[in-house]
Structure 1
Amino acid sequence: MVADWSFELGELGVDRDEVVAEFGRYLQLERDLSAHTVRAYVSDVNSLLDHLGGRLEGLDVGVLREWLAGQHAAGKARATLARRTACARTFTAYCRRRGWLEADPGLLLGSAKTSRELPAVLDQRQAEAVLDAPATGEPKELRDQALLELLYATGVRVSELCGLDVDDVDRERNIVRVLGKGRKERSVPFGTPALRALDRWCIHGRPRWMRAGSGPALFLGVRGGRIDPGTVRRVVHARLAQVEGAPDMGPHGLRHSAATHLLEGGADLRSVQELLGHASLNTTQIYTHVSIERLRAAYQQAHPRA
């Protein structure tokens, strides 16, 4: 039996697919959310509409709580539940604006709290081992070394790294221009090792992989197109697997490590916030907890009366 996914809204007959598509366009064009967030919210809305049987009729705070309770019972992570709560509130507000709902039930929906689990990070010895691996002159190794150096030197997100163009790197001032969340641009400094690795890649590696469609992309895949986040994740996992004792983590782990090492080296929290592109200082503060936990572990291991 094929479900009828259209629903009647007052005197308007609105197709479910149209509602979801319009909501997606609103998130992209008016809210300026990332493509990843838009995909996640659209998926969440489809899940909510499935729960409603494809109709907005009867959508109230009780139904929203029932839907979220079902997600919790299904074993969804706290972060997922928090995102779906935020999505539900955004969706009901949008529907109220469009006149599809008489009231906004999302206003009565509480915010789900996410757990503040401390991220896994490399210690400085492990970070050095990851970056000091010998490399030949092959394009892949030159590229991998350059992107690893830049990830750790700047703490940029993997999506930001993949979006970099050649002209975004200022070699005179050792600064890279990054387009972050909300299309906010920031300038992030990097050190001499990263500059050397970038120069080796751009001079000896990138030209050998360039194709007609390569464009200005800084990092390329083997076929000459702009590198994708999945490839970067595989590079990071493979390099970390070669370091004894290093936790298995992806590019975001290098971001966590860079932030932690900056704070351990004396950088102030506001500077780290600016480097990472965090909108809120609360997000950056988790790295102070990481440093404290590492200090506590070292104390308990080393102090005779711990």
Structure 2
Amino acid sequence: MANAMEDAVSEFGRHLRAERDVSPHTLRAYLGDLSDLTGYASGVGVVDPAELDVTLLRAWLARQHALGRSRATLARRTAAVRAFTRHLHRRGLLQDDPGLLLGTPRKHRDLPGVLTQDEAARLLDTMDSEGPLGLRDLAVLETFYATGVRVSELCGLDIDDLDTGRGTVRVLGKGGRERTVPVGEPAARAVQDWLRAGRPALVTDGSGPALFLGARGKRLHPTSARRIVHTRIAEVGQVTDLSPHGLRHSAATHLLEGGADLRSVQEILGHASLQTTQLYTHVSAERLKQVHRQAHPRGAR
């Protein structure tokens, strides 16, 4: 039988779905985190959300740290708890909000792996694009690299999202936010070739308006898109193996290396915060340092 804490978590999940419009991934993660908190609280005799206090929350997070949870996981669990206690406080189920007293663990952010500009050119210029699947795969990789879209965003594209006349694509991003992203001529040409000579060979009654299709004619699934990227990179050889997210990182890094400003890159990538985009300045700085070490007579240490 569910206790009051479990009921509160369930109600919070409904709130996130209906009113916050969080992504399915975030919803699953938050509810998993709060389920863990509920189990811990129950183990120490707390089954009513009104009994949550900062001592219990800190003890739970300390246990997570002792279990070896990563800083990224601890940061997300802290965020989940803060959102939960804030919701309880606003509903009058908590007199004070203990989440406000929690510190935020700093997430360790590794510099993302990226292609060099030469590697990106070699990948896209030498790919085997024979047949419907070859045309599709080239269009997929060109679109990833040209636009920096997330894998879920690419798979969600419909045919009429692409405006070849204006050289743009309409992207539905996180939180239902829509943005318009420029598409270069090579990517637009690859997509047009796919639409002309590739998609008609795979289309079925169940294809709908999906821009990219799987081998059976349904909308391309993110798992399949990831497999396409890994497979095609491996076929070319002598190119760093990356996921679709790595192509997104590569697009952002090369934009900055080419002189784009941070605000423009933020808009293209669909980042809600400029702080997220600033990560790429560190990537570019690392590249510059590497070039300096290799090229400057006093660059080596």
Give the TM-score of the pair, scaled to structure 2: 0.92
Residue in 1 aligned with 2:74? 81
User: Are positions 1:200 and 2:200 aligned together?
Assistant: no
Q: Closer, same or farther in 2 for the Cα pair 1:243/1:296, shift >3 Å?
A: farther
Q: Closer, same or farther in 2 for the Cα pair 1:116/1:225, shift >3 Å?
A: same
Deviation at 1:136, TM superposition (A): 4.1
Q: Structure 1: where are the runs of 5+ without partners?
A: 8-13
Q: CA–CA distance in 2 between the matches of 1:23 and 1:248?
A: 40
Instruction: Give the CA RMSD over aligned residues.
Output: 1.7
Residue in 1 aligned with 2:280? 287
Q: Closer, same or farther in 2 for the Cα pair 1:136/1:178, shift >3 Å?
A: closer
Q: Indicate which of 2, 6, 9 corresponds to 2:3.
A: 6
Q: CA–CA distance in 2 between the matches of 1:87 and 1:41?
A: 5
Q: CA–CA distance in 2 between the matches of 1:79 and 1:246?
A: 29
- Worse-matched range after superposition: 143-152 or 30-39: 30-39
1:55 is matched by which residue type in structure 2?
V
User: Are positions 1:63 and 2:56 aligned together?
Assistant: yes
Q: CA–CA distance in 1 between the matches of 2:91 and 2:20?
A: 16
Residue in 2 aligned with 1:152? 145
User: Are positions 1:23 and 2:16 aligned together?
Assistant: no
User: Are positions 1:33 and 2:25 aligned together?
Assistant: no
User: Are positions 1:176 and 2:169 aligned together?
Assistant: yes
- Worse-matched range after superposition: 158-167 or 65-74: 65-74
Residue in 2 aligned with 1:46? 35
**Quick check: 1:137–1:204 contact (8 Å CA) kept in 2?**
no
User: Are positions 1:133 and 2:130 aligned together?
Assistant: no
Q: CA–CA distance in 2 between the matches of 1:263 and 1:82?
A: 28
Q: Indicate which of 76, 96, 101 corresponds to 1:103.
A: 96
Q: CA–CA distance in 2 between the matches of 1:224 and 1:19?
A: 42
Deviation at 1:232, TM superposition (A): 1.1
**Quick check: 1:177–1:187 contact (8 Å CA) kept in 2?**
yes
Residue in 1 aligned with 2:208? 215
Q: Structure 2: where are the runs of 5+ without partners?
A: none
Deviation at 1:22, TM superposition (A): 2.2
Q: Closer, same or farther in 2 for the Cα pair 1:239/1:56, shift >3 Å?
A: farther
- Worse-matched range after superposition: 222-231 or 81-90: 222-231
- Encode CA deviations 1:256-300: one digit per residue, 9 max, x unaligned: 100111111111121111111112222111111111111111111
Residue in 2 aligned with 1:117? 110
Deviation at 1:56, TM superposition (A): 3.2
Q: CA–CA distance in 1 between the matches of 2:17 and 2:26?
A: 9
Q: Closer, same or farther in 2 for the Cα pair 1:210/1:19, shift >3 Å?
A: farther
Residue in 2 aligned with 1:230? 223
Identity of counterpart residues, as a percentage? 59
Deviation at 1:65, TM superposition (A): 1.3
- Worse-matched range after superposition: 223-232 or 257-266: 223-232
Residue in 2 aligned with 1:274? 267
- Give the SS at the match of 1:242: helix
**Quick check: 2:3–2:48 contact (8 Å CA) kept in 1?**
no
Deviation at 1:83, TM superposition (A): 0.9
- Encode CA deviations 1:72-116: one digit per residue, 9 max, x unaligned: 222222111111111000011112233333322111111221123
Count, aligned residues: 295
Residue in 2 aligned with 1:11? none
Q: CA–CA distance in 2 between the matches of 1:153 and 1:23?
A: 39
**Quick check: 2:129–2:137 contact (8 Å CA) kept in 1?**
no
1:50 is matched by which residue type in structure 2?
G
Give the TM-score of the pair, scaled to structure 1: 0.91
Q: CA–CA distance in 2 between the matches of 1:136 and 1:291?
A: 31
Q: CA–CA distance in 2 between the matches of 1:99 and 1:225?
A: 47
Deviation at 1:243, TM superposition (A): 4.4
